[in-house]
Amino acid sequence: MSRDLQVKVMLNPEEFVAFRALADDAGQSQSGLARQLIRQAIREFAESSGEATTGATDEPVHNKAKS
């Protein structure tokens, strides 16, 4: 899987330190933890909205046809 898209997030110093600590405690990079949290949020959104989770990360939600 290619990872050529970038998401920038602005954090205050306290949020940054806490996020860095979470990543360290999980044994992950900050990018890896952010990807994990994003995938988790996508799965939860898909489950709560009744959408299939297969391929949920393949296409932006705004590009999917509404039924």
The pLDDT, as a whole number, for residue 17 is 98
The pLDDT, as a whole number, for residue 39 is 96
Cβ atoms of residues 65 and 59 within 8 Å:
no
Residues 49 and 66: their CA atoms lie apart, in Å, by 12
- pLDDT tens digit sequence for 6-48: 999 999 999 999 999 999 999 999 999 999 999 999 999 999 9
Maximum alpha-carbon separation in the chain:
42
pLDDT-derived band of residue 2, with 50, 70 and 90 as boundaries?
A: confident
pTM exceeds 0.75, yes or no: no
Does the pLDDT of residue 51 top 80, yes or no?
A: no
